[in-house]
């Protein structure tokens, strides 16, 4: 699924973070959003992920403008098309790891359908090095473990668009490598992958497009 920004601006009161940003991200490509802390990476990802609306300009999914959609349709579109992993994991602390990864399916799936997905959750958790933690409450996880549970929840739907905000932050080299491999695998499956990164050259290697942000400025590198 392609995703495109046309003349996107994002301001918080009088702070201009994104200024007249236009870019088309084709199906199956991988975009890295890079820049120092505070440069607007999360802001741009949240606009691309249809979580926040741009102040001006529009986002298009497969050529369709999202600005005209009401919140209910946007929520449906996010559910159908986008897997989003947050910079700060958004987990429910007193639910288990497996329950948190299954959350996107409530209340849309019936219980027997959820049972079918559960096998896939386990495979995904194992792949991300979280075996043995299935039943642990997420409040009792380390920061890096929480980050991977949040990523697993973004991956579970096999969405055509995957957005990950600083996916390798707080991870050791080996665990970061596993996460990079998972993202790469999604690119190879033809999904559109977008991630932000402050400092991780290994992660940057999987991108075929890059946007460099500075506050209120951007540069499209390739
Ligand atoms: N909801 C908000 N309201 C007001 N200002 C905001 C809001 N969200 C972000 N900002 C400001 O916008 C700027 C860009 O923030 P953003 O979180 O997008 O940066 P970032 O590049 O993701 O930084 P980091 O690498 O630290 O995560 C910052 O100056 C931040 O303080
Ligand atoms: Mg950020």
Strands 217-220 and 56-61: unpaired
Instruction: Take atom 4 of ligand 1 and give the residue whose Cα is closest.
Output: 12
211 Cα to the center of ligand 2, angstroms = 14
Q: What is the mean pLDDT of residues 189-207?
A: 93
Residue 110 tokens read as: 């019936």
Position 222 scores a pLDDT of 63
Mutate to test the pocket of ligand 1, among 11, 15, 215 (most ligand atoms within 8 A of CB): 15
| For residue 70, pLDDT beyond 80 | yes
DSSP state of 104: G
Q: Give the C-alpha separation, 187 to 30, whole Å.
A: 7
Average per-residue pLDDT for the chain = 93
| For residue 218, pLDDT beyond 90 | no
- Provide the residue range defining the domain that includes 60: 3-220
Q: What is the mean pLDDT of residues 83-106?
A: 94
| For residue 71, pLDDT beyond 70 | yes
| For residue 184, pLDDT beyond 90 | yes
Q: Mark out the alpha helices in 70-214 (DSSP H runs).
A: 71-81, 97-102, 111-127, 143-155, 173-188, 201-204
Residue 4's H or E segment, with its range, is strand 3-12
CATH number at residue 81: 3.40.50.300
| For residue 112, pLDDT beyond 80 | no
42 Cα to the center of ligand 1, angstroms = 7
Q: What is the mean pLDDT of residues 32-51?
A: 96
Per the model's pLDDT, the better-predicted residue between 220 and 169 turns out to be 169
| For residue 123, pLDDT beyond 90 | yes
Pocket of ligand 1 (CB under 6 A): 12, 15, 17, 35, 37-43, 87, 198
| For residue 160, pLDDT beyond 90 | yes
167 Cα to the center of ligand 1, angstroms = 17
For residue 196, the SS3 value is strand
| For residue 115, pLDDT beyond 90 | no
| For residue 111, pLDDT beyond 80 | no
Q: What is the mean pLDDT of residues 135-156?
A: 96
Q: Considering its fold, how many domains does the chain have in total?
A: 1
Q: What is the mean pLDDT of residues 77-105?
A: 94
Position 216 scores a pLDDT of 66
Instruction: Take atom 10 of ligand 1 and give the residue whose Cα is closest.
Output: 12
Ligand nearest to the CA of 48: 1
Instruction: Take atom 1 of ligand 1 and give the residue whose Cα is closest.
Output: 12
Mutate to test the pocket of ligand 1, among 42, 169, 215 (most ligand atoms within 8 A of CB): 42
Ligand nearest to the CA of 38: 1
Q: What is the mean pLDDT of residues 163-180?
A: 94
45 Cα to the center of ligand 2, angstroms = 9
Per the model's pLDDT, the better-predicted residue between 117 and 140 turns out to be 140
Position 165 scores a pLDDT of 98
CB-CB contact of 1 with 62 (8 Å): yes
Mutate to test the pocket of ligand 1, among 11, 38, 167 (most ligand atoms within 8 A of CB): 38
119 Cα to the center of ligand 1, angstroms = 37
């Amino acid at each position: 699924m392609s995703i495109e920004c046309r003349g996107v601006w994002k301001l918080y009161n009088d702070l201009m973070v994104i200024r007249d940003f236009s870019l088309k991200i084709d199906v199956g490509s991988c975009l890295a959003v890079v820049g120092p802390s505070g440069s607007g990476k999360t802001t741009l990802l949240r606009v691309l992920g249809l979580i926040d609306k741009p102040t001006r300009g529009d986002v298009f999914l497969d050529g369709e403008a999202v600005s005209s959609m009401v919140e209910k349709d946007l929520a449906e579109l996010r559910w159908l098309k986008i897997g989003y992993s947050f910079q700060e994991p958004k987990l429910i602390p007193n639910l288990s790891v497996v329950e948190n990864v299954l959350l996107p399916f409530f209340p849309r799936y019936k219980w027997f359908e959820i049972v079918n997905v559960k096998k896939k959750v386990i495979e995904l958790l194992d792949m991300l090095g979280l075996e043995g933690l299935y039943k642990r409450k997420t409040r009792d996880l380390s920061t890096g473990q929480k980050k991977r549970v949040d990523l697993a929840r973004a991956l579970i739907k096999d969405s055509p668009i995957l957005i990950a905000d600083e996916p390798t932050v707080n991870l050791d080299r080996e665990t970061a490598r596993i996460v990079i491999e998972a993202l790469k695998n999604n690119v190879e499956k033809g999904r559109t992958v977008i991630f932000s990164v402050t400092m991780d050259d290994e992660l940057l290697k999987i991108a075929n497009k890059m946007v460099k942000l500075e506050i209120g400025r951007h540069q499209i590198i390739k």
